[in-house]
Structure 1
């Protein structure tokens, strides 16, 4: 039958959530366990096994080892849309400095061979716990909705490679292509709040690997070649300002140097200097223009310095612009407003980036991405994501995240209003 207006649906969905929400102590324990035992990007094997174990206990169809340690569980529950809900598995190479009794003291050898301290400083542990809680809620309330739900746990989000890796590894040969995708993220706002918006939500992030070549030079002592270090340093110091002047200072553009390396011990001259750029933009047309201008400026500066070879500039997409489709975000926003009332607020556009949208890019799957708060308002200043002091309060954060995920799915799957 025709779906009724979703604003009036909020009270019906409230009844479902309140009646079938699982005992959250189980998920609080999961959160503490994973927080204390984090795993770095690309190495999330134990975390993935814990997630898969829980999903199997609910008798879902579970697929593991996708694109690394990715996990996807499918619950077929009659005709209707297929809704994919995502959480992330990985932690960060940060030393935790909280006073939590379940704080992480863990260290790992990362995939680059470096020993690092590890911490869930971004909230992926809470995102996982909330999605697992929502999976149990939807299973218990199965007779109240119809369709297919997919619970996807993505590896390697922090280095923004995991979503594409899952797709490239045949994700959609294992699970249905969804009609709708949903994701949420913990942020340092008031615990219990949710925030969603339509349109652009997160920036696009690209990287540029640049090599400035100073030698060798034909017929010249290598020490008389161009020193690439000052050439590269001058480019890095001036690049953002020059790009903004050319593209337009009214445009939202940032260019940061995330790495610089030149020279080897024992060499008597420097053959090249390498640096890595992080580039953030909010418009596709500006993104393309910025790439063109960066390449041209670097080439011009090398020509001015008389380098013996042209620079090598290679661009790669870290994360596309995250833009919520109104057909998904607006119905969810109305349900959130009816359910969370004053705790449902407008999401602010943020300079964080995400690869979530890549999960459905090939199939143009519409999606919504929102934030939920995890901080006590008494803290000043409030530790942000990626801070060694990031320590969300477990409740009401976990309940809000669980309810939000379940509500968002039920917005499109619930069968009727009573």
Structure 2
């Protein structure tokens, strides 16, 4: 079987599908048309599709005798970014976001390419049913960007309705990796995250009489400064972690001391011990800085964190990562594989590993999307190619789609031919 030849026969149609998705992006939770097109593509492959799972999520089921169940996942949503890539198929879409603002919409995180590769794997595996046995779940997930889509599908009974998969795979595009190259690593690969709000309360008053107030702006400044020492002075220097306060709002004019300041914070980590340490320290710092400024207890800062504001780290199963690597080296060549770096970005793909009754082996591999010329500029002159969430982000799509489809398909074939995967 020449897997590359089979995938190449579908490449033109997959490129056109990619361009369609790129030109017609939809915001998180608004993926109605994207979901319809993706579901139609699966049904054209003879796959039974259930729509509207956890919002606009879809689940395709391909049965082929006895054997393991594999879940292949793609995300579908786009970002509120006005595209500036210069591509002839660039998005010109405008939409209204959840706050009522009119925004440009762009696939600036590669979900359009993820979907094209997902359809390519579905087409190829549907043609090769004599080469595998078992069951494949094709999951099209909405709302990855706000970290709510995977949880919504799981809460809507994904594993109860469709069964617990024996393993899950997915891909994400990776700038700074050459198009046509696949990167993977076993173990932790993407950070866990929590996001929280800190309401810093005070007693407002005139800016000329601060002694008659309790100034929340000064307290917020002290909290921000002290929080910076959590990673630099409390954690082992070899422990990867990030704490960032990305939003602070308070006050209306220069001579009014406000009654409150609101801050928003994100923390990144790879294990529960680090996560718990960071959260304890944030709570301690907020309380102790308020005490230092002689704030009464009823005005201590209030910390809020919702269930949807937290994800575990993405941890790749060791055996499954080895299968992905073997698939790449067999069908693309050893020169098309690199060891992936750990990154502090997060993915709600991580929830699929932890949300069933028993842990599900998962693997997120990365698809390089940067052209050879841009990689040369990066490697020789340290000129970065446009990154994810950048208005100029534009994958080199042909080699990227080809590599992703081959890797995804070969991984499934390697696993499904036996309940004990062959390496």
Question: TM above 0.5, one fold?
Answer: yes
Kindly tell me the number of residue pairs found equivalent between the two proteins.
401
Give the aligned partner of residue 276 of structure 1: 264
The answer to whether structure 1 residue 311 and structure 2 residue 304 are counterparts is no
Closer, same or farther: CA 122–55 of 1 in aligned 2, 3 Å: same
CA RMSD of aligned residues (A): 2.3
Decide whether aligned partners of structure 1 residues 124 and 179 sit closer, same or farther in structure 2, where only a CA change above 3 A counts. same
Q: What is the Cα deviation at residue 280 of structure 1?
A: 0.8
Q: Quick check: 1:20–1:141 contact (8 Å CA) kept in 2?
A: no
Q: Does 1:288 align with 2:276?
A: yes
1:51-77 C-alpha deviation (Å, 9 max, x unpaired)? 011112222121111222111111111
- Alignment partner of 1:105: what SS? coil
- 1:191–1:397: 8 Å Cα contact kept in structure 2? yes
The match for 1:362 is 355
CA gap 1:255/1:192 in 2 versus in 1, 3 angstroms? same
Residue 356 of structure 1, CA deviation: 0.2
The residue number in structure 2 matching 1:328 is 320
Shift of 1:251: 2.3
In 2, Cα distance between the equivalents of 1:38 and 1:243?
37
Query: Where does structure 1 lack aligned partners over 5 or more consecutive residues?
Result: 1-13
Is 1:202–1:322's contact at 8 Å kept on the other side of the alignment?
yes
> Residue 83 of structure 1: CA displacement?
0.2
1:105-120 equivalence runs, <5 A: 105-120=92-107
In structure 2, the gaps of 5 or more residues are: 378-382
Moved more, 364-373 or 54-63: 54-63
User: With structure 2 as the length reference, what TM-score do the two structures score?
Assistant: 0.89
- What is the CA distance between 1:210 and its match in structure 2? 0.7
Residues of 2 paired with 1:111 and 1:37: CA distance? Answer: 19
Residues 119 and 413 from structure 1, CA distance in 2 versus in 1: closer, same or farther, beyond 3 angstroms? same
Structure 2 Cα separation of the partners of residues 356 and 65 of structure 1: 19
Partner residue in 1 for 2:179? 191
Partners of 1:202 and 1:239 in 2: how far apart? 23
Q: Verify: 1:227 aligned to 2:215, yes or no.
A: yes
Structure 1 residues 20 and 252: alpha-carbon distance in aligned structure 2, compared to 1, 3 A threshold: closer
Name the structure 1 match of 2:369: 374
Q: 2:336: which partner in 1?
A: 343
Q: TM-score normalized by structure 1?
A: 0.90
Q: 2:408 maps to which residue?
A: 405
